Structure 1
Amino acid sequence: MSGRTTRRQGRGGNPLVYAVALAVVAVTLGPVLYGVLGGFRTNAQIAETPAGLPDPWVLGNYAGVVTNPDFWQYAWNSTVIAVLTTAIVVVLGLMAAYPLARYRFRWRERLYLVFVLGLLFPATVAIIPLFILVTRDLHLGNTWWGVALPQAAFALPMTVVILRPFLMALPDELEEAALIDGASRVGFFWRIVVPLSGPGMVTVGVLAFVGSWNAYLLPLLLLQGDMKTLPLGVADFSSQYSSDTAGVFAFTSLAMIPALVFFLAMQKRIVNGLQGAVKG
């Protein structure tokens, strides 16, 4: 009997686990759904029943945001900066992880430890030196590159930590066969390593893109006027139209939807990439 009971519980799952998972999902998605639905309501509806559903559904708030040229300017800036950051992170991260994984040289592990220690230092720690370096020394203040380069630099440690196991897992026989066929180390890197590292590159690319899209502090210090990103636009809109609660909900929802949809669409690839890193 005990064996049958155990098998039944194994098939059905533990109710406590489902309850905890449901609570976590509710806490995580609750504010998102509340904001999205709030954009379909009027300020009077929100004031009367804050936790109610739209009745009737109002499209004017979202239409006002979509027809706002500032929103599209902010979205364009966020997209360009995120794409630049992602490209730099993927290319330089793979090139940095390759010798740390495939070459054997003195101080290799200690050099890798430098990247690991880089995970302990967020961008906020060096925000003032970064501001001085970017604006005064590099003259990249209020530019896309001025934000993308520091963001990529702080994303490189995680990129190297994820990509190195992928490259170490490649069989040595594969490299030996390529060298026998006349391929150089550079040719082996571009023709074999890069295609086989696709899952890892997708993983670090998605993480870099979403991290750049949601960045706030660094763009706040470096960007002004028409160069602002969507998170800054949300803050400005919330301050300027603080009395228009429904409009703020609509603006915030549309600002977070691109990154959310992108992340959800690529989540399987992210999981596969992280699994490959752990196996490696």
Structure 2
Amino acid sequence: MTGQTQVRRGADRGPARRPPEAGPRAHARPNPRNRTRSISLHAIVVVVGAFVLVPLLYGVIGGFKNTQQLSTNPFGLPSPWVPGNYTSVLSSGSFWRELWNSTFIAVATTVLVVAVSAMAAFIFARFSFRGRELLFTLFAAGLMFPFAVAILPLFVLLRMFGLLDNPLGVILPQAAFGLPMTIIILRGFFRAIPGEIEEAATLDGCTAFGFFWRILLPMARPALATVSVLAIVASWNNFMLPLVVFNDPNWWTIPLGVQQFQGQYASDTARILAYIVIAMIPALGFYAVAERQLIGGLTAGAMKG
């Protein structure tokens, strides 16, 4: 009876279940080639980050030292901390005047270059006429024209028109040299917008300018933000053109202020470091805020193009 009972119990349970076989992914090992590539990329990122962050940290910490501490202990922490280098820069009226000049020139340049480039890119993207591609190629060729080559004839023209020691002498040339890149970027965005949208707007009685102003520009906000960031950063970092145009210290920008401050306090390295660090804060802050928009706009433009 016991044997029959055990047989029946075994039959009631059904056939024995096999353990699930492990698929090929369960025992898959990471590809050595992919692992090597990942390690190499991380190493490159670490090295590049070190090249960027180490000088920045050295400047920030060095601004809290005096010249003697920089000579005896250049890489250590300040002992004692000297915040007077930063406070003396922030309390000077010349720094805030240079900050305002740089901001005003950068904003004016950006508004001008984006407005003109948007209209030109609209013509190149949505209209067909003889010589369009040739004219666009001429604009694109402006990218290969170095600014330093044009500085002498540009100075002669600015002096002829009385634009020396005038912010327009910096704003207008900066906008002119920023047109090629801006037109190329905006044209790619404008061409990616479907033609059916323009046809529907035309049937609703929208003019060409109305389509450009009411439909095209709102749809191209990522592109407009991208070119605006590029124009502001380029204007903020421009040194040669303000150096040629401005002799009046009241119109000096931040790069010129850094040069003047370095010449005035050539023996006080710690104070120079403090000035440079403070001068970098507006540009770094602006780029940190606009970084996502900049990268997103460039990526979207590349995908559409």
Q: Which residue of 2 aligns with 1:148?
A: 171
Asked whether 1:204 is paired with 2:227, we answer: yes
Q: CA RMSD in A?
A: 1.8
Alpha-carbon distance change, 220 to 11 in structure 1, aligned in 2, over 3 angstroms: same
DSSP-derived class of the 2:29 partner: helix
- Equivalent pairs counted in the alignment come to 279
Q: CA deviation at 1:238?
A: 0.3
Structure-1-length-normalised TM-score: 0.95
Determine the C-alpha separation between the residues in 2 that align with 1:265 and 1:69.
Answer: 27
Q: Is the 8 A contact 1:163 1:201 kept in 2?
A: yes
Sequence identity percentage: 46
Q: Which residue of 2 aligns with 1:189?
A: 212
Q: Which residue of 1 aligns with 2:190?
A: 167
Q: Is the 8 A contact 1:122 1:154 kept in 2?
A: no
Q: Which residue of 1 aligns with 2:90?
A: 66
Determine the C-alpha separation between the residues in 2 that align with 1:44 and 1:271.
Answer: 43
Q: CA deviation at 1:163?
A: 0.8
Q: Return the letter of the residue paired with 1:229.
A: T
Determine the C-alpha separation between the residues in 1 that align with 2:264 and 2:149.
Answer: 30
Determine the C-alpha separation between the residues in 2 that align with 1:36 and 1:156.
Answer: 36
DSSP-derived class of the 1:106 partner: coil
State which of 185, 200, 219 in structure 2 corresponds to 1:177.
200
Q: Is the 8 A contact 1:178 1:188 kept in 2?
A: yes
Q: CA deviation at 1:4?
A: 2.4
Could you tell which deviates more after superposition, 53-62 or 164-173?
Answer: 53-62
Determine the C-alpha separation between the residues in 1 that align with 2:30 and 2:276.
Answer: 47
DSSP-derived class of the 2:288 partner: helix
Determine the C-alpha separation between the residues in 2 that align with 1:12 and 1:59.
Answer: 46
Q: Which residue of 2 aligns with 1:247?
A: 271
Q: CA deviation at 1:14?
A: 1.4
Question: For residues 85-141 of structure 1, what are the alpha-carbon distances to aligned partners after superposition, in whole Å with 9 as ceiling and x for unaligned?
Answer: 1111111111110110111111111111112111111211100111111122x2111
Question: For residues 214-257 of structure 1, what are the alpha-carbon distances to aligned partners after superposition, in whole Å with 9 as ceiling and x for unaligned?
Answer: 10001001012211111001000001101111110011111111
DSSP-derived class of the 2:211 partner: helix
Determine the C-alpha separation between the residues in 2 that align with 1:4 and 1:64.
Answer: 62
Q: Which residue of 1 aligns with 2:181?
A: 158
Give 1:190-269 correspondences, 5 Å limit.
190-224=213-247, 225-269=249-293
Q: Is the 8 A contact 1:40 1:59 kept in 2?
A: yes
Q: CA deviation at 1:56?
A: 3.0
DSSP-derived class of the 2:81 partner: coil
Q: Which residue of 1 aligns with 2:114?
A: 90
Asked whether 1:128 is paired with 2:174, we answer: no
DSSP-derived class of the 1:127 partner: helix
Tell which structure's C-alpha radius of gyration is larger.
2
Q: CA deviation at 1:272?
A: 1.1
Question: For residues 161-213 of structure 1, what are the alpha-carbon distances to aligned partners after superposition, in whole Å with 9 as ceiling and x for unaligned?
Answer: 11111000001000011111111000000001111111111111111101101
Q: Which residue of 2 aligns with 1:139?
A: 162
Q: Which runs of 4+ in 1 moved over 2 A?
A: 1-13, 53-58
Determine the C-alpha separation between the residues in 1 that align with 2:298 and 2:87.
Answer: 39
Determine the C-alpha separation between the residues in 1 that align with 2:36 and 2:78.
Answer: 37
Determine the C-alpha separation between the residues in 1 that align with 2:211 and 2:134.
Answer: 25
Determine the C-alpha separation between the residues in 2 that align with 1:28 and 1:110.
Answer: 41
Q: Return the letter of the residue paired with 1:26.
A: A
Structure 1: any 5+ residue segments left out of the alignment? none
